[in-house]
Amino acid sequence: MATQANPEPRSNTLFFSDARGCKEWLKGIALHNVPMAQQAILDGLRILNRSATIGASDRLMCLELMRDKAAFLLAEQRARYSGKTIPLMHGDVAAWNISKTLLSEMEAGYVRCWDDAKAEGAPLAAHAALILQRTMRYIGLQMLIAGFVYKRFDGALWTRLHALWREAESRGVAAKKVKDSVGSADGYSSVQQAYTAVLLGQAANVYELMPREIDFVDAVMKRFSHKVEVMHEGMPAAIGVQAIVDLSAQRGIQYVARVDAHEDVRLVELTELNKSLRRRVKRLAEGATPAELDLPADWGAREAHDHLARLYTLWCEGGSTRAVPSVPEETHAQLTFGLSEIHFFMSGTLFEQPDVPRELTRQELNDIKMFGKVSEATVRARYAEYNYGTESWGIIDETRGSYRLLRPANSSHPLAIGRVLGVKIGKQDSFYLGVVRELAEELDGTIYATVNMMPGKPEATAVRGPDDHHKAGSYVQGFRLAPMPALKIPETLVVPAGLAQAGRGIDIFHPGHGSPKEVRVVEFIERGADFDRVTIK
C-alpha cells in the first residue's frame, strides 16, 4: 500500500486524512489485480464512512476520487459472476457480494455527505444536486447488480430512492446539471436523469435478459433518460394508459388507465421518449444501422430492432412480455438439461455417429460370446457412465406456451437465460423443447424459472455443420421441428450454438434413413445460450 501523503494523519486508522492524501493513496492501488484492488477500495470506503475526523468537503472529494476507480473495478469484476448459471458457485457469490457491498458503501458515503449538506448555509449545500444524483445512481446500481444475477433486491432501496426524489423536488435541484463521467453518455447528468434511469431500468425487467441484453438496456437508458420527465405540480389530465410512480410504494413505474392527483403520485411523462424510440424502431426496420441511430454499434440491425421494440412496448405502452397466467391442472414437470441429455431421453438410446460403426467394449464382446447378445446389466452400466437423469420441478402457473416453474431445493442443475431444456408435462409421452426465458431468485433463495415451449413435437436427429461434410465422426445431437402450416410456422432445426451459418448447408441424419440429407440454413429464428434455432429448405 502506498505511503500516506500526510505524515501526521488525524486518525491512526484512516489511510488518508484529506482529499490530497486520498489521491496519493489511490495511486498506490494496483488495478491489474481486480479482486485485491476492489477489496482495498472497499476497506478505504468503510474507514472513510466511519471516520469522525475528516472534513465534509474532503469527504465528498474523496468519494469523487474513488468513484472512477470503483466504476472500473466493478466493470472488470462483473465478468466473474455476470452471465453465470443460477445459483452461483461459491466463488462467484463471494465476488458478487464484494461488488454489492462496494456499491452499498458508496451510497453510504454520499448519504453521509447529504447529512452534511442539508442545513442551510452548510459547506456542502451548494453541491446538493451532485450529492443526490450520486446517491440515486448507487441505489440504482445496487438494483442493477442484483439483476445481473437475477436476484430480487430489498424493497427498502425503492423507499430510499423515492425519499431522495422528494428532497430534490423540495429543494428545486431535480433538473440541475452536474458532471458525470461514469453514468451518462455526454458527461453530464441530473437528479431527474438518475431517477428516471432507475425507473426505466427496472421497467425493462432484466430478469428475462442475458448480460449483453442488459448492457443494451443500460446504453439506451444513458442515451435517452433525459427525454423522460417526472411531474407533480400541474399534472395534465391525460387520456389512455399513463405511467406513474407512487413515492409511498416500494416499487417503480406503474401503468394505470387514470391518474388521480395525490401528494405521493408523480406522472412519468414519456412523450419525447416515445417519439425517439418509435422513430428508431422504424429506421432500423428500414435498414439503418444501430450506430447511425446512436445505439450500441456492436449490435446488428435486426436484433437491435427487436430489443428496442421490446423496450418501447414495456416503457411507452406499459406492455407485458408475458400474458396473464392461469393455475395449471398439472402440478409438476419432468425436466432434463442440455442437448445431449434431451436427445438421449427423446431417442431412448445413447448418441452414436450414424455413419461410423461403434467399436464394442470388451464387456460387450464377452456378453455376446457368452449369451449371444449384450446383457441388460452391461447396457445399464454403460448408460450409467453418462449420468443422464431428470428432475421434477413444481409448476406454479402457465400461459399459452409458457410455464413458470419452481426449482426444487435438491436440484443439481443450475440455469441460465436462453438455455434449452427438455420438458415433459404430466402424462405426455415424450419430452418437448423449452427455453429459459426468465429467472428470479427471491430473497429467501427460492428460484423461479419461466420456460417458453418451442412449437411442435421435436424429432431427435444427428446434424453436422457446413465445414464437417467430409469429416468422419463429426455429427452432433440436434432436433427437427416439423412445420405447422396452420400457425404459419416453418420447419426448423435446433442445433448447438455456433454450428449453423446462414446460407450454408447442414447435414441431417434421421434414424432409420440410410443416408444424410443436406439442407440449407435460411435464417436464424432464435439464438440461445447453448443452441440456435434456424429455418431450413
Q: Is residue 350 very low, low, confident or very high in pLDDT (cuts 50, 70, 90)?
A: confident
Mean pLDDT of 496-503: 91
DSSP state of 489: B
| CA–CA distance, 379 with 218 (Å, rounded to integer) | 52
Beta bridge partners of 433: 422
Number of folded domains that form the chain: 3
Within this chain, do residues 114 and 70 fall inside the same structural domain, yes or no?
A: yes
Domain that holds residue 503: 458-536
Q: Is residue 240 very low, low, confident or very high in pLDDT (cuts 50, 70, 90)?
A: low
Within this chain, do residues 183 and 67 fall inside the same structural domain, yes or no?
A: yes
CATH of the domain at 447: 2.40.10.220
Look at residue 238 and tell me whether its pLDDT is greater than 60.
no
The 3-state DSSP class for residue 532 equals strand
Look at residue 10 and tell me whether its pLDDT is greater than 50.
no
Within this chain, do residues 71 and 171 fall inside the same structural domain, yes or no?
A: yes
Q: Is residue 502 very low, low, confident or very high in pLDDT (cuts 50, 70, 90)?
A: confident
Instruction: List the single range of 97-101, 111-115, 164-168, 373-377 with lowest mean pLDDT.
Output: 373-377
In a domain, 150, yes or no: yes
In a domain, 516, yes or no: yes
Look at residue 414 and tell me whether its pLDDT is greater than 80.
yes
In a domain, 145, yes or no: yes
Domain boundary residue among 141, 176, 202?
Answer: 202
Domain boundary residue among 453, 474, 490?
Answer: 453
Amino acid 370: pLDDT: 79
| CA–CA distance, 45 with 15 (Å, rounded to integer) | 10
Domain boundary residue among 167, 202, 237?
Answer: 202
With the C-alpha atoms ordered 213, 103, 20, 128, is the resulting torsion angle positive or negative?
Answer: positive
Within this chain, do residues 532 and 418 fall inside the same structural domain, yes or no?
A: no
Residue 537: partners with Cβ closer than 8 Å, 6 or more residues away: 519, 520, 522
Within this chain, do residues 470 and 511 fall inside the same structural domain, yes or no?
A: yes
Amino acid 364: pLDDT: 74
Look at residue 250 and tell me whether its pLDDT is greater than 80.
yes
Helix, strand, coil % over all residues of the chain, rounded to 5: 40, 20, 40
Look at residue 42 and tell me whether its pLDDT is greater than 90.
yes
Contact 442, 146 (CB under 8 A): no
Mean pLDDT of 292-318: 92
Within this chain, do residues 190 and 167 fall inside the same structural domain, yes or no?
A: yes
In a domain, 320, yes or no: no
In a domain, 271, yes or no: no
Within this chain, do residues 483 and 336 fall inside the same structural domain, yes or no?
A: no
Q: Is residue 467 very low, low, confident or very high in pLDDT (cuts 50, 70, 90)?
A: low
Look at residue 289 and tell me whether its pLDDT is greater than 80.
yes
Contact 59, 124 (CB under 8 A): no
Within this chain, do residues 432 and 341 fall inside the same structural domain, yes or no?
A: yes
Amino acid 514: pLDDT: 66
Amino acid 375: pLDDT: 79
| CA–CA distance, 169 with 232 (Å, rounded to integer) | 9
Within 371-446, strands assigned E span 391-399, 402-406, 420-425, 432-441
Within this chain, do residues 35 and 178 fall inside the same structural domain, yes or no?
A: yes
Q: Is residue 469 very low, low, confident or very high in pLDDT (cuts 50, 70, 90)?
A: low
Within this chain, do residues 21 and 145 fall inside the same structural domain, yes or no?
A: yes
Query: pTM for this one?
Result: 0.86
Amino acid 322: pLDDT: 65
Within this chain, do residues 181 and 194 fall inside the same structural domain, yes or no?
A: yes
In a domain, 114, yes or no: yes
In a domain, 220, yes or no: no
**Helix count (H) and strand count (E) of the chain?**
13, 18
Look at residue 111 and tell me whether its pLDDT is greater than 90.
yes
The 8 Å CB, 24+ separation contacts for 73-81 are 73/31, 73/34, 73/37, 73/38, 73/41, 73/102, 74/38, 74/99, 74/102, 74/103, 74/141, 74/145, 76/34, 77/34, 77/35, 77/38, 78/148, 81/148, 81/149
Output the CA–CA distances (angstroms, integers) from residue 526 to 43, 435, 529, 531, in the order listed: 45, 10, 10, 8
Q: Return mean pLDDT, the chain.
A: 89
349 vs 397, residue with greater confidence: 397
| CA–CA distance, 106 with 189 (Å, rounded to integer) | 18
- Least Cα distance to 47 among 93, 24, 16, 86 occurs for 16
At 421-466, the pLDDT tens digits run: 999 998 888 999 999 999 999 999 999 999 999 998 999 999 998 7
Percentage, residues of the chain above pLDDT 90:
65
Percentage, residues of the chain above pLDDT 70:
92
The answer to whether the bond into 466 is cis (omega within 30° of 0) is no
Mean pLDDT of 469-476: 68
φ/ψ of 422, rounded to 5, equals -100, 130
Within this chain, do residues 88 and 156 fall inside the same structural domain, yes or no?
A: yes
In a domain, 307, yes or no: no
Contact 251, 266 (CB under 8 A): no
Amino acid 185: pLDDT: 80
